[in-house]
């Protein structure tokens, strides 16, 4: 009996260490993709061309979108006003996008609509330069504050584990978008936010368990403590990830094109987040030299339930 | 409470429980208005009393042919009213009706809402929907970069005059061509003329100017005249900077209006495109966005030797001579809040940034007992469509003491004026005047199909989660599901309460995701309870212990996520800000329902003498 248990722990340790190095490889691949291929940034970030026209008769949004999809080579965003008679089409600024308003005449022929061209003008991005700088600064602040809070509540090595796992998750998702050339827009940026929340949540729950076992069981080997913590939180991890993934898959299948990128980002994020909470956030503290008797040396108050 | 033995019967009426119950009730009521959606109602009035009546069946057939779903059709001899199921069908119905009945009927449409009167009286409102779900208002602003360049040259001209006066270089005149004429911005320049007697000293002046304004090109026309101008590259650079600053200010103003999911971008060379979702009062938005107020602080001219005198009259008609060099301007204001003094008079409290604070400190120290004048300037277009700057003295005060970076403007006419001024000052002043050249109502970017699909996806997602919880945790799973549903409703309620919260399609997905993650709270607690049961605790003790020890884990996980959410909320804009808001609110409600509400539910449902829970015998 004891033997079986021992080998189980051994396997889990192996699995963790191997996965940790796999994760490192994935991060390198993701980084390579990010630097060599760059993110396919959407209209929100790059700006592009705005073409405005009006139609003689009211056209429904759906019809117009279908007509434009069959005509325009690139992704576009269409807005209607004045009860379906005034339209503005935004296209990203790249080689294949149709600039100016000359294409409208051709489009009118093909779609059999009476089109009165109006403005064709260059538009800037929704995300200003100062916002990108500010955003970088804010992320840095957020990471430092999280590190501080977790170091105060747990221990700096556990905190580092959680933050490294966080980096891993975000980088993998970004890498995926770079490798597959999926358009990265503000909605995807927002989904990264959810991934950050999810990743932290997972890491902290494992970390919390490690702390708890360390306190009651300070003479065991740290390797075994971490394995035990992972095993006792495994059911919870599976249920939470499972239900969340099921929801995301439902969104992916039913919500259609407008949320496809969003679901891809979240799906990968949650999957990778679950993996990294075991492979990274639990393993890093061990590699950084966390010892089982840490809490013996340092008496600390537990958070009390109000 | 921590270590109290759980022997006495459970008291359902503890004040904590009442507090939880009342806040839950409050959130539920706040979420109620979302059930009542606006519907479009068409009314047909016969033009001629002898017109043949339209029958209900006739209308029904007509709409069925065109695949339009109708909520209700009412026909009376004097009026026919049709209520639509979908707001988006409005245009097609309008076309259809006018093509068939235009000759005999007057067709009107209106938006109706069946919200009960008690909700109306509570002033409860549904969640605002984003641009993708319900459209909004589009403003296109023109930024007068030419005017900004003109103002800048005017300031330089003033500085040249001041240097000439200080260094006693006599006879120097500066001519600036009129910026309001239809003149190309690259042709704006300053012509400096000086007599022969000044030639010796004039080089010093131009060196000084070059030092302060290296971007200004100096071209000597003849021995008595030098032309100062910006190169076309510098002009373009200046225009870009002005646009960037104006965009930033506009984003600030929209944020001050409490709208999170707006789109603000540069359009063409000198236009700004703003799309605002869910604006009920376009006029208010128009006033704040289009306002070009700036605040400048001047001293009186008698106290200074500097050149250039500004003559202005204050509200009482008293003529004041101002030194036209500003002490500091609105761009140095870091924060402004409306408030009241001890006499309940409205005022605006200002906080200056480091530069402004230094200027103010230095100035007020040297000028105690002197007068400082606050001038409020606005740009507007006159009847000839020319940009005109209108300035008004709003405050004349004697400097009583050495002031720092904080002080206030008193004598505001009303609380509302104080509030509006503080809002404009907070949101930043504009270096270039702007005018609204286009205003338009825009429609939802996502069709009703997309929205329905989104809602379907979410129902399926939540459905799977709920089913799984019941399957896995049985009776406790039911409790978790009640808590989850309450969580979703509370979140909707909270979002309806906050004027800044806007719901978009990704937002809805985020909402469901928060719910998905809220499952976590319950799972953590139940797994804890299971553990405690396995350790041999009695059912009720295990529940108590399970909730208690899971709470610290939940708290840690949520606080960390909350930190990220709050930081991203404060810096982000657009969808990021909206998403961060939903995330933060979701954490709050999931803690509230997942821990506190489900604790009460568990205590009510699980009997004390229960011996078996979660498949574990106690």
Q: Chain A: give the shortest CA distance to residue B546, in Å.
A: 11
pLDDT of residue B306: 52
- Per-residue model confidence as pLDDT tens digits over A240-286: 899 889 888 988 888 777 788 889 999 999 999 999 988 899 888 88
Q: Chain A: give the shortest CA distance to residue B522, in Å.
A: 10
Among A68, A124, A166, A203, most B C-beta atoms within 10 A, so best to mutate, is A124
- Residue A172: both structure tokens together: 């993998």
Instruction: Test A190 with B579 for CB contact under 8 angstroms.
Output: yes
Same domain, yes or no: B598 and B495: yes
Q: Chain B: give the shortest CA distance to residue A249, in Å.
A: 8
Mean pLDDT, range B446-460, rounded to an integer: 78
CB within 8 Å of B377: residues ≥ 6 apart? B293, B294, B295, B296, B389, B390, B391, B392
What is the rounded CA–CA span in Å between residue B465 and residue B515? Answer: 9
Q: How confident is the model at residue B354 (pLDDT cuts 50, 70, 90)?
A: confident
Cβ atoms within 10 Å of B41's Cβ, excluding its own: 17
Would the pLDDT of A154 be above 80? yes
> Does A242 contact chain B (CB < 8 Å)?
yes
pLDDT of residue A129: 67
Q: How confident is the model at residue A298 (pLDDT cuts 50, 70, 90)?
A: low
CATH number at residue B79: 3.30.70.260
> Does A133 contact chain B (CB < 8 Å)?
no
Same domain, yes or no: B491 and B564: yes
* Domain range enclosing B197: 145-235
Residue B473's H or E segment, with its range, is: helix B448-497
Nearest one of B555, B554, B570 to A141, comparing CA atoms: B570
B84 in a structural domain: yes
Would the pLDDT of A56 be above 70? yes
What is the rounded CA–CA span in Å between residue B301 and residue B481? Answer: 74
Average pLDDT, chain A: 81
Minimal Cβ distance to B445: which of A77, A190, A255: A77
Cβ atoms within 10 Å of B268's Cβ, excluding its own: 16
pLDDT of residue A268: 94
B270 in a structural domain: no
CB within 8 Å of A292: residues ≥ 6 apart? A214, A217, A218, A219, A220, A221, A222, A225
Measure CA A200 to chain center: 12
Same domain, yes or no: B22 and B68: no
Q: How confident is the model at residue A27 (pLDDT cuts 50, 70, 90)?
A: very high
Instruction: Test B512 with A247 for CB contact under 8 angstroms.
Output: yes
Would the pLDDT of A199 be above 80? yes
Would the pLDDT of B236 be above 60? yes
pLDDT of residue B611: 63
- Per-residue model confidence as pLDDT tens digits over B186-224: 567 778 888 777 777 777 778 877 777 777 777 777 777
Minimal Cβ distance to B561: which of A201, A232, A251: A201
Would the pLDDT of A300 be above 50? no
Contact in structure between B529 and B543 (CB atoms under 8 Å): yes
Among A42, A125, A236, A301, most B C-beta atoms within 10 A, so best to mutate, is A236
Q: How confident is the model at residue B2 (pLDDT cuts 50, 70, 90)?
A: very low
Residue B446: list chain A partners with CB under 8 A.
Answer: 258
The helix/strand/coil state of B114 is coil
B316 in a structural domain: yes
Nearest one of B209, B556, B113 to A153, comparing CA atoms: B556
> Does A149 contact chain B (CB < 8 Å)?
yes
SS (H, E, C) B115-158: CCHHHHHCCCCCCEECHHHHCEEEEEEEECHHHHHHHHHHHHHH
Q: Which of B372, B407, B441 is the last residue of a domain?
A: B441
- Strand A48-55 vs strand A115-123: parallel, antiparallel, or unpaired? antiparallel
Same domain, yes or no: B470 and B605: yes
B69 in a structural domain: yes
Residue A78: list chain B partners with CB under 8 A.
Answer: 445
Cβ atoms within 10 Å of B581's Cβ, excluding its own: 25
- Residue B160: both structure tokens together: 């040249």
CB within 8 Å of B370: residues ≥ 6 apart? B299, B300, B303, B398, B399
pLDDT of residue B324: 67
Instruction: Test B557 with A134 for CB contact under 8 angstroms.
Output: no
Would the pLDDT of B1 be above 60? no
Mean pLDDT, range B478-498, rounded to an integer: 90
What is the rounded CA–CA span in Å between residue B402 and residue A61? Answer: 63
Instruction: Test A243 with B465 for CB contact under 8 angstroms.
Output: yes
Supply the DSSP string of chain A, one letter for each residue.
Answer: -HHHHHHHHHHHHHHHHHHHHHHHHHHHHHHHHHHHH--EE-HHHH-EEEEEEEESS---HHHHHHHHHHH-SS-EEEEEETTTTEEEEEEESSTTS--SSHHHHHHHHHHT--EEEEEEEEE--SS-HHHHHHHHHHHHHHHHHHHHHHHHHS-HHHHHHHHHHHHHHHHHHHHHHHHHT-EE-HHHHHHHHHHHHHHHHHHHHHHHHHHHHHHH-TTS-HHHHHHHHHHHHHHHHHHHHHHHHHHHHHHHHHS-GGGHHHHHHHHHHHHHHHHHHHHTTTHHHHHTT--TTHHHHS--PPPPP-
> Does A129 contact chain B (CB < 8 Å)?
yes
Domains and CATH numbers, chain A: 8-41+128-296 (1.20.1640.10), 48-123 (3.30.70.3190)
Instruction: Test A61 with B571 for CB contact under 8 angstroms.
Output: no
Top-confidence range, B202-216, B226-240, B363-377, B531-545? B531-545
Top-confidence range, A136-150, B15-29, B41-55, B446-460? B15-29
**Residue B84, strand partner residues:** B70
- Per-residue model confidence as pLDDT tens digits over B131-166: 888 778 888 888 888 877 887 787 788 778 777 777
- For chain B, the distance separating the N- and C-terminal CA atoms, rounded to the nearest angstrom, is 23
CATH number at residue B305: 3.30.1360.200
Q: Chain A: give the shortest CA distance to residue B598, in Å.
A: 15
B262 in a structural domain: no
- Residue B576: both structure tokens together: 């990021």
Number of domains, chain B: 4
Distances in whole angstroms, Cα of residue B56 to Cα of each of B81, B99, B443: 10, 18, 30
Mean pLDDT, range B507-523, rounded to an integer: 79
Same domain, yes or no: B301 and B406: yes
CATH number at residue B563: 1.20.1640.10
pLDDT of residue B143: 85
Would the pLDDT of A25 be above 90? yes
Mean pLDDT, range A118-145, rounded to an integer: 76
> Does A124 contact chain B (CB < 8 Å)?
yes
Same domain, yes or no: B203 and B65: no
Contact in structure between B418 and B338 (CB atoms under 8 Å): yes
Same domain, yes or no: B530 and B454: yes
- Residue B510: both structure tokens together: 């985020």
Question: DSSP state, B385?
Answer: S
Q: Which of B63, B90, B112 is the last residue of a domain?
A: B112
Among B93, B254, B568, B596, most A C-beta atoms within 10 A, so best to mutate, is B568
User: Strands of B346-352's sheet, edge to edge?
Assistant: B333-340, B346-352, B406-409
What is the rounded CA–CA span in Å between residue A177 and residue B310? Answer: 60
pLDDT of residue B4: 46
Same domain, yes or no: B386 and B487: no
Residue A135: list chain B partners with CB under 8 A.
Answer: 571-572
Instruction: Test B443 with A240 for CB contact under 8 angstroms.
Output: no
- Per-residue model confidence as pLDDT tens digits over B358-373: 877 887 787 777 777 8
Nearest one of A178, A206, A214, A228 to A295, comparing CA atoms: A214
Same domain, yes or no: B337 and B422: yes
> Does A44 contact chain B (CB < 8 Å)?
yes
B136 in a structural domain: no
Contact in structure between B174 and B307 (CB atoms under 8 Å): no
What is the rounded CA–CA span in Å between residue B580 and residue B574? Answer: 10
Residue A209: list chain B partners with CB under 8 A.
Answer: 553
Q: How confident is the model at residue B183 (pLDDT cuts 50, 70, 90)?
A: low
**Residue A290, strand partner residues:** none
- Residue B513: both structure tokens together: 């995701």
What is the chain B residue with the closest CA to A130?
B248
Give backbone dihedrals phi and psi of A292, rounded to 5 degrees, phi first: -65, -25
ipTM at complex level:
0.82
Which of A7-16, A161-170, B225-234 is predicted with the least confidence, judged by mean pLDDT? Answer: A7-16
Same domain, yes or no: B75 and B98: yes
Residue A124: list chain B partners with CB under 8 A.
Answer: 247, 265-267
pLDDT of residue B222: 76
What is the chain A residue with the closest CA to B583?
A194
Instruction: Test A190 with B575 for CB contact under 8 angstroms.
Output: yes
Cβ atoms within 10 Å of B405's Cβ, excluding its own: 20
pLDDT of residue A6: 47
The helix/strand/coil state of B602 is helix
B10 in a structural domain: no
Mean pLDDT, range B499-514, rounded to an integer: 77
Same domain, yes or no: B378 and B329: yes
pTM for this entry = 0.75
Instruction: Test A244 with B517 for CB contact under 8 angstroms.
Output: yes
Angle at B298 between CA B294 and CA B299, to 5 degrees: 170
Would the pLDDT of A10 be above 80? no
Would the pLDDT of B305 be above 60? no
Instruction: Test B553 with A204 for CB contact under 8 angstroms.
Output: yes
Cβ atoms within 10 Å of A78's Cβ, excluding its own: 17
More confident residue, B550 or B145: B550
Q: Calculate Rg over the CA atoms of chain A.
A: 25
Angle at B327 between CA B323 and CA B333, to 5 degrees: 145
Residue B618's H or E segment, with its range, is: none
> Does A196 contact chain B (CB < 8 Å)?
yes
Which of B47-61, B136-150, B372-386, B506-520 is predicted with the least confidence, judged by mean pLDDT? Answer: B372-386
> Does A166 contact chain B (CB < 8 Å)?
no
Nearest one of A13, A1, A10 to A279, comparing CA atoms: A13
- Per-residue model confidence as pLDDT tens digits over B82-97: 887 776 677 777 778 8
Write down how long chain B is. Answer: 618
Average pLDDT, chain B: 77
Instruction: Test B561 with A131 for CB contact under 8 angstroms.
Output: no
pLDDT of residue B617: 57
Same domain, yes or no: B428 and B457: no
Which of A234-238, B104-108, B288-292 is predicted with the least confidence, judged by mean pLDDT? Answer: B288-292
Q: Chain A: give the shortest CA distance to residue B389, in Å.
A: 29
B124 in a structural domain: no
pLDDT of residue A24: 92
Distances in whole angstroms, Cα of residue B73 to Cα of each of A288, B33, B41, B103: 73, 24, 10, 20
Instruction: Test A123 with B563 for CB contact under 8 angstroms.
Output: no
Contact in structure between B481 and A205 (CB atoms under 8 Å): no
Would the pLDDT of B6 be above 70? no
Q: Which of B190, B208, B235 is the last residue of a domain?
A: B235
Instruction: Test B443 with A80 for CB contact under 8 angstroms.
Output: yes
């Amino acid at each position: 009996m004891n033997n079986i248990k021992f080998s189980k722990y051994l396997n889990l340790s192996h699995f963790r260490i191997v996965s940790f190095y796999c994760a490192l490889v994935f991060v390198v691949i993701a980084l390579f993709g990010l630097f060599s291929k760059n993110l396919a940034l959407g209209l929100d970030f790059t700006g592009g061309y705005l073409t405005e026209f009006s139609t003689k008769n009211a056209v429904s949004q759906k019809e117009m979108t279908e007509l434009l999809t069959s005509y325009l080579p690139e992704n576009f965003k269409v807005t209607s006003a004045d009860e379906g008679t005034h339209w503005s089409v935004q296209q990203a600024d790249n080689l294949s996008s149709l600039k100016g308003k000359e294409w409208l005449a051709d489009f009118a022929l093909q779609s059999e609509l009476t089109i009165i061209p109006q403005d064709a003008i260059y538009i800037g991005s929704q995300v200003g330069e100062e916002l990108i700088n500010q955003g970088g600064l804010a992320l840095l602040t957020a990471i430092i504050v999280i590190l501080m809070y977790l170091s105060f509540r747990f221990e700096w090595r556990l905190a580092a584990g959680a933050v490294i796992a966080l980096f891993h998750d975000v980088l993998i998702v970004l890498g995926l978008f770079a490798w597959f050339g999926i358009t990265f827009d503000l909605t995807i940026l927002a989904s990264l936010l959810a991934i950050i929340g999810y990743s932290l949540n997972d890491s902290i729950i494992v970390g919390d368990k490690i702390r708890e076992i360390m306190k009651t069981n300070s003479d065991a080997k740290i390797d075994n403590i971490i394995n035990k913590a992972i095993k006792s939180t495994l059911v919870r991890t599976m249920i939470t990830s499972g239900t969340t993934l099921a929801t995301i898959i439902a969104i992916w299948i039913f919500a259609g094109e407008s949320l496809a990128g969003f679901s891809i980002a979240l799906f990968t994020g949650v999957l990778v987040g679950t993996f990294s909470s075991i492979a990274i956030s639990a393993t890093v503290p061990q590699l950084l030299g966390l010892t089982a008797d840490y809490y013996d040396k340092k008496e600390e108050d537990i958070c009390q339930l109000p | 409470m921590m270590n109290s033995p759980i022997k006495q019967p459970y008291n359902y009426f503890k004040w904590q429980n009442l507090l939880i119950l009342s806040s839950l009730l409050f959130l539920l009521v706040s979420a109620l208005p979302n059930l009542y959606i606006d519907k479009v109602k068409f009314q047909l009035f016969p033009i001629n009393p002898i017109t043949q009546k339209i029958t209900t069946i006739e209308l029904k057939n007509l709409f069925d042919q065109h695949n339009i779903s109708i909520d209700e059709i009412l026909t009376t001899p004097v009026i026919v009213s049709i209520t639509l199921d979908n707001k988006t069908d409005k245009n097609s119905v309008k076309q259809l009706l006018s093509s068939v009945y235009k000759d005999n009927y007057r067709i009107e449409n209106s938006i109706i809402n069946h919200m009960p009167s008690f909700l109306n009286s509570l002033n409860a409102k549904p969640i605002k929907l984003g641009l993708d779900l319900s459209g909004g208002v589009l403003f296109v602003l023109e930024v007068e970069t030419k005017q900004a360049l003109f103002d800048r040259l005017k300031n330089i001209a003033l500085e040249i005059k001041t240097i000439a006066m200080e260094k006693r270089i006599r006879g120097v005149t500066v001519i600036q061509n009129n910026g309001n004429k239809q003149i190309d911005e690259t042709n704006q320049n300053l012509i400096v003329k000086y007599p022969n007697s000044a030639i010796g000293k004039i080089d010093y002046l131009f060196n000084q100017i070059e030092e302060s304004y290296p971007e200004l090109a100096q071209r000597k026309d003849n021995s008595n005249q030098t032309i100062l101008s910006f190169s076309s590259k510098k002009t373009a650079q200046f225009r870009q900077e002005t646009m960037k600053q104006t965009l930033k200010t506009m984003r600030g103003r929209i944020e001050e209006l409490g709208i999170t999911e707006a789109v603000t971008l540069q359009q063409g060379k000198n236009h700004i495109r703003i799309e605002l979702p869910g604006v009920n009062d376009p006029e208010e938005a128009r006033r704040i966005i289009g306002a070009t107020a700036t605040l400048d602080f001047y001293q009186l001219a008698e106290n200074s030797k500097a050149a250039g005198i500004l003559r202005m009259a204050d509200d009482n008609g008293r003529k004041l001579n101002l030194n036209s060099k500003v002490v500091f301007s609105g761009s140095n204001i870091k924060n402004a809040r409306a408030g009241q003094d001890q006499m309940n008079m409205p005022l605006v409290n200002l906080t200056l940034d480091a530069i402004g604070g230094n200027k103010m400190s230095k100035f007020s120290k040297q000028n105690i007992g002197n007068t400082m004048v606050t001038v409020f300037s606005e740009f507007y277009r006159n009847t000839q469509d020319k940009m005109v700057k209108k300035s008004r003295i709003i405050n004349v005060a004697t400097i009583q003491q050495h002031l720092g970076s904080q002080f206030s403007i008193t004598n505001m006419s009303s609380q509302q004026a104080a509030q509006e001024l503080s809002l404009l000052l907070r949101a930043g002043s504009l270096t270039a005047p702007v005018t609204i050249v286009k205003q338009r109502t825009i429609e939802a970017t996502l069709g009703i199909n997309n929205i329905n699909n989104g809602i379907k996806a979410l129902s399926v997602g939540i459905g799977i989660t709920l089913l799984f919880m019941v399957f896995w945790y049985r009776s406790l799973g039911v409790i978790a599901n009640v808590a989850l549903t309450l969580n979703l409703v509370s979140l909707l309620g909270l979002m309806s309460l906050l004027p800044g919260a806007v719901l978009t399609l990704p937002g809805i997905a985020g909402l469901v995701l928060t719910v998905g993650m809220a499952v976590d709270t319950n799972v953590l607690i139940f797994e804890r309870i299971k553990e405690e049961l396995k350790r041999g605790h009695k059912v009720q003790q295990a529940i108590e212990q399970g909730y208690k020890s899971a709470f610290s884990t939940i708290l840690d996980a949520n606080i960390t996520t909350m930190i990220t959410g709050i930081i991203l909320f404060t810096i982000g804009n657009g969808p990021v800000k909206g998403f961060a808001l939903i995330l933060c609110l979701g954490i709050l409600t999931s803690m509230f329902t997942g821990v506190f509400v489900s604790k009460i539910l568990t205590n009510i449902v699980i009997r004390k003498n229960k011996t078996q829970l979660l498949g574990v015998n106690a």
